[in-house]
Amino acid sequence: MTTWNITQHGAVGDGKTDCTKAFSAAIEAASKAGGGRVDVPPGAYLTGPIIFRSDIELNVQRGATVMFSRNYDDYPMVVTDYEGEPTVRCISPLWAENLQNISITGEGIFDGQGEAWRPVKKFKMSEQQWSQLIASGGFVEEGRKMWWPTAAAYEGDRTIEKLNKISPMRVETFKHVRDFLRPNLLKFTNCRGVRLEGPTFRNSAAWNVHLLLCEDVVMRNVTILNPWFSTNGDGLDLDACRNATISHSLFDCGDDAICIKSGKDEPGRIRGRACENITVENCTVLHGHGGVTVGSEMSGGVRNLHVRNCIFKGTDIGLRFKSTRGRGGTVENIDISNIVMSDIRHEAISLNLYYWVKGEPKPEPVSERTPIFRDFHMRNITCERAKAAIEIRGLPEMPIDNITIENVRMTAETGATIIDATNVTLSSVHLKCEKSPALRCNNVENLRLDRFEGAGPLDGLAGGLVGDL
């Protein structure tokens, strides 16, 4: 493979010199030659966005750090997709569209310098951190006790929903709120043959690694880091992708760590692209809102997801599946095995169709807006210290269906709660709970218990079950 070194195109690894043109020239030279490897040697390289071409491997060597510019003007605005809906954002520091055979390799670091973009909630910081943040400048929203890097970023938060409804969607319409349009660190869209192997991605402005409509993805030995207080600091978002394997990687994030998505509400249903044939194995999550999460943007569907041999320590939720009325879409054929969890702040396992619902939800007839969860099989799972062991909560009009959970041992404050579900099997499930009952049920049809053991009596069964135990 022919190699091009960015220093031969003018890059200087002093952390101060703008290397944007050097990255572009090296990638252009490799592309004109039919593809090849672009090398980043040890050093600190300051740059604007890096735009990929087909058949390019960007190799960032150990000891090299690519630092992305904190200057908003270095990031052109583009019509794109964020959180499952069309919108305008600043272009991502690592950007690719409609390409094939692209790779990022090596043991170097990509630093998004996201603190220049991100808002911060006061409750997530100590008093000293908050005081230092305010002293640095920016704009404080007193009502929500939130810090923004600029007043324009705050204004964007207040007006983005209205702007997203203006048709046709034009970049010019969003110019006055550019500061709000923080980019994902890496965004590859509609690419085939994607390989991420070895590097660290850290400190993103929004999501860290976002793969949208990509096929044949391999991610191995990657580290993804964000401060735990980082707003929208997802680790990896696989969004309407096909045929992906994520393995031997470490996540420590400010939001969900490994996220499986497929679009939100009507736009996701119209696109109709499922996230499918996904394997997550031998990964570790140290912090995050969820270890492995599906949803809540899953309107195009998620199917054939395999998760095995993973460790979650200190996440808010371990295995997290979330949706709500309005999403539509089907999540099905989920196979999970050999999971070790500890110090989970909320539920170790959560299947919840009431995500982000406040107050008493209004019932709806079944329609394209109705989400469906079915065919989940989980086995060989342990958890030490969780707030709650298991939550399965469907909708009255669409119960969660065909759930098997077997060979599970957990210690938790509370046990299992099952509401609006059918065909649920708990086999060799041992829950050591601080509070009884170990199992609560409401409107559960065909619940099968085989060697279920809990700290308290099986309470809440009367009137809540249809069929025999």
- Please report which confidence band the pLDDT of residue 143 belongs to, taking 50, 70 and 90 as the band edges: confident
Q: How much is the pLDDT for 144?
A: 77
% residues pLDDT > 70 (the chain): 97
Residue type, 30: A
The whole-number average pLDDT for the span 221-246 is 96
Q: How much is the pLDDT for 463?
A: 37
Cis-peptide into 296, omega within 30 deg: yes
Backbone phi and psi for residue 139, each to the nearest 5 degrees, phi listed first: -135, 130
The whole-number average pLDDT for the span 222-230 is 94
Query: How does the average pLDDT of the chain come out, rounded?
Result: 95
The whole-number average pLDDT for the span 350-362 is 86
> Where along the chain do its domains lie?
3-323+331-353
Please determine, for residue 323, whether its predicted confidence score (pLDDT) is greater than 80: yes
Please determine, for residue 235, whether its predicted confidence score (pLDDT) is greater than 90: yes
Please determine, for residue 302, whether its predicted confidence score (pLDDT) is greater than 50: yes
The whole-number average pLDDT for the span 256-261 is 98
Please determine, for residue 459, whether its predicted confidence score (pLDDT) is greater than 80: no
Q: How much is the pLDDT for 455?
A: 72
Would you say 206 and 183 are in contact if contact means Cβ atoms under 8 Å apart? yes
For residue 103, list its beta bridge partners. 57, 195
- Please report which confidence band the pLDDT of residue 458 belongs to, taking 50, 70 and 90 as the band edges: low
- Give CA–CA dist 369/325, Å, rounded: 6
Q: What is the distance of C-alpha 214 from the center of its chain?
A: 15
Question: Quick one: tokens of 319?
Answer: 């295995």
Q: Residue 423's closest CA among 408, 442, 392, 445?
A: 445
For residue 433, list its beta bridge partners. 412
Top pLDDT among 86 and 143 is at 86
Could you give the residue numbers annotated as active site? 255, 289
Q: Exposure of 22 by Cβ count < 10 A (0-12 exposed, 13-18 middle, 19+ buried)?
A: buried
What SS3 string covers the chain?
Answer: CCEEEHHHHCCCCEEEEECHHHHHHHHHHHHHCCCEEEEECCEEEEECCEECCCCEEEEECCCEEEEECCCHHHCCEEEEEECCEEEEEECCCEEEECCEEEEEECCCEEECCHHHCCCEEHHHCCHHHHHHHHHCCCEEECCCCEEECCHHHHHHHHHHHHHHCCCCCCHHHHHHHHHHCCCCCEEEECCEEEEEECCEEECCCCCCEEEECCEEEEEECCEEECCCCCCCCCCEEEECCEEEEEECCEEECCCCCEEEECECHHHHHHHCCCEEEEEEECCEEEECCEEEEECCCECCCEEEEEEEEEEEECCCEEEEEECCCCCCCEEEEEEEEEEEEEEEEEEEEEEECCCCCCCCCCCCCCCCCCCEEEEEEEEEEEEEEEEEEEEEECECCECEEEEEEEEEEEEEEEEEEEEEEEEEEEEEEEEEECCCCCEEEEEEEEEEEECCEECCCECCCCCCEECCC
Question: Quick one: tokens of 64?
Answer: 């090299």
- Please report which confidence band the pLDDT of residue 457 belongs to, taking 50, 70 and 90 as the band edges: low
CATH classification of 3-323+331-353, choosing from 3.30.428.10, 3.60.70.12, 2.160.20.10, 3.40.50.2000? 2.160.20.10
Q: How much is the pLDDT for 138?
A: 94
Question: Quick one: tokens of 345?
Answer: 């702040």
- At 97-136, the pLDDT tens digits run 999 999 999 999 999 999 999 999 999 999 999 999 999 9
At residue 225's C-alpha, the angle toward residues 224 and 228, to 5°, is 140
In the chain, the N- to C-terminal Cα span, in Å, equals 63
- Please report which confidence band the pLDDT of residue 363 belongs to, taking 50, 70 and 90 as the band edges: confident
Would you say 193 and 170 are in contact if contact means Cβ atoms under 8 Å apart? no
Least confident interval from 256-260, 355-359, 377-381, 401-405: 355-359
Q: How much is the pLDDT for 233?
A: 95
Least confident interval from 237-246, 401-410, 457-466: 457-466
- At 266-286, the pLDDT tens digits run 999 999 999 999 999 999 999
